[in-house]
Amino acid sequence: MNRIHDLYRPLPERIRDFAEVERPLTDAELADQTARCLDCGQPFCHAYGCPLGNLVPDQNRAVARGDWRTAWDLLSANSDFPEFTSRVCPALCEGSCVHQLDAESVMIRQSEKRITDHAFAAGWVLPRPPATENGRSAAIVGAGPAGLSAAATLRRRGWDVTVYERRAAVGGLLRYGIPAFKLAKNLIDRRRLLLEAEGIRFVTSLEVGRDLSAGWLLRRHDAVVLAIGTPAARDLPIPGRTLPGVHLALDLLEGQNRHLAGELPAPPVDAAGKRVLVIGGGDTGSDCVGTAHRLGAAEVTQIEIMPKPPSERSPSTPWPLWPQMLRTSSSHLEGCTRRWSLNTLRFLGTDTLTGVEVETVDWTLTPDGRPSKFIPVPGTRETIPCDLCFLALGFTGVPADTPLLAQLGLTPTPRGTLPSDPARRIHCVGDCATGASLVVRALASGKALPL
């Protein structure tokens, strides 16, 4: 038996709302799926694939025999926020599944999701306050996945923890970046209540460095933990960039999430009836595609400067590495023209955006199949007509002029990351410490905080 590929609610239904796109798999489907895990002689999924070290074979064995309580006890032993990872993690564990060698990987993420939903429904997910207090206090700046993970970890070690967040609600990009059709925001609210019941305090709508001195935090607390992510989005400074209709991806994604939460009266970007172009082929670009569909875009095109990935695992990423290969999201399945090896040259229009001029490029590959450099293909310039363009090009790091950095005496590295300074009781976790990465790695970073 291979994977189940029918994972989504019917397209005509889901494209009209922002509810989660995935349908729940039945217990019988999961029992069959997790039984495949028991054929494995030497698992790599938990020790090599999962940054959290989840006990994948053991919890899947429990699911296969219908022992959901044991499965939850095993999952929650290492994962503090499985309701998040089971929805937004690309499942690195599945890339190192032994079944990848001759078939398709076990559906580990779906198993984790079902275990977690069972646990919440059964009332097994309870606050876990510390048995004793250690008399020390920590300030955590940023309530994204790394900040929440650090808060939970320190609190369970007996620290008094206060989390400061500049936005109106906690969650970081879980709340404001990832669309609701992938992660329902009530799940974040539910987890916040559990963390508060453990004794963690949240202070929102307050920016450390502007509304509150970072130095004051150092004087008041025994440790200051920075979990501020990588807020600087990579831009595309080419002719026409300032034309109305050209936006960074988060203009669309954050604005729509804030509108759904009631923070904004209307979506800040109107895509209804528009021709939408998304530049950038990663998950953020895919999220823009799905959001544009739900806002009534007439058509959606996604382009990428990199070459089209192979349909199967690339030789450059042999098992058990995370495979470099073509991936098709639920948003792509809703209708999207996808093109690769296109370099964007300029935005076109007079008073507003009317199109984008692009050019095909040829890539030189390394011996193991990795793209190394590109050259333009003469005579391939063309115009892609569009009314809206979203730049989903990743993030560059923490800006050097961020006020709290000067107050703490921190200087970003050339990569835009922040160094910890344990001697001064300053610790950095998540993307601001490592560079932009995955939610699961941010959670693992917060959990590994050496305090």
Burial class (CB in 10 A: 0-12, 13-18, 19+), 108: buried
Type and span of the H or E element at 377: none
Domain ranges of the chain: 11-122, 137-231+396-447, 235-393
Tell the CATH topology of 11-122: Fumarate Reductase Iron-sulfur Protein; Chain B, domain 2 (1.10.1060)
How does the average pLDDT of the chain come out, rounded?
Answer: 96
Instruction: Tell whether pTM > 0.85.
Output: yes
pLDDT at residue number 239: 98
Per-residue pLDDT at 369 exceeds 80: no
Per-residue pLDDT at 367 exceeds 90: no
Concatenating the DSSP letter of every residue in 142-166 gives --SHHHHHHHHHHHHTT-EEEEE-S
Per-residue pLDDT at 335 exceeds 70: yes
Per-residue pLDDT at 2 exceeds 70: yes
Q: Which two tokens stand for residue 156?
A: 């369970």
On the question of a common fold for 137-231+396-447 and 235-393, the answer reads yes
Per-residue pLDDT at 299 exceeds 80: yes
pLDDT, tens digit, 9 for 90 and up, residues 243-278: 999 999 999 999 999 999 999 999 999 999 999 999
Q: Evaluate whether 447 touches 153 at the Cβ level (below 8 Å).
A: yes
> Quick one: average pLDDT of 109-124?
97
Written as one letter, the residue type at 423 is: A
pLDDT at residue number 1: 67
Measured between alpha carbons, how far is residue 11 from residues 109, 242, 333 in Å?
A: 22, 35, 8
Measured between alpha carbons, how far is residue 19 from residues 93, 139, 174, 183 in Å?
A: 26, 34, 15, 8
Asked if CATH classification 3.50.50.60 holds for the domain at 137-231+396-447, the reply, yes or no, is: yes
Measured between alpha carbons, how far is residue 87 from residues 83, 188, 279, 440 in Å?
A: 7, 12, 24, 11
Asked if CATH classification 3.50.50.60 holds for the domain at 235-393, the reply, yes or no, is: yes
pLDDT, tens digit, 9 for 90 and up, residues 34-92: 998 887 878 999 889 999 999 999 999 999 999 999 999 999 999 999 999 999 999 99
Is the link from the previous residue into 320 a cis peptide, with omega within 30 of 0?
A: yes
Instruction: Tell me the pLDDT band of 102, cut-offs 50, 70 and 90.
Output: confident
Q: Are strands 232-233 and 246-248 parallel, antiparallel or unpaired?
A: unpaired
Query: What is the C-alpha to C-alpha distance for residues 341 and 283, in angstroms, rounded to an integer?
Result: 18
- How far does CA 377 lie from the centroid of its chain? 34
Q: Which residues contact 155 (CB under 8 A, 6 or more apart)?
A: 129, 130, 161, 195, 198, 199, 200
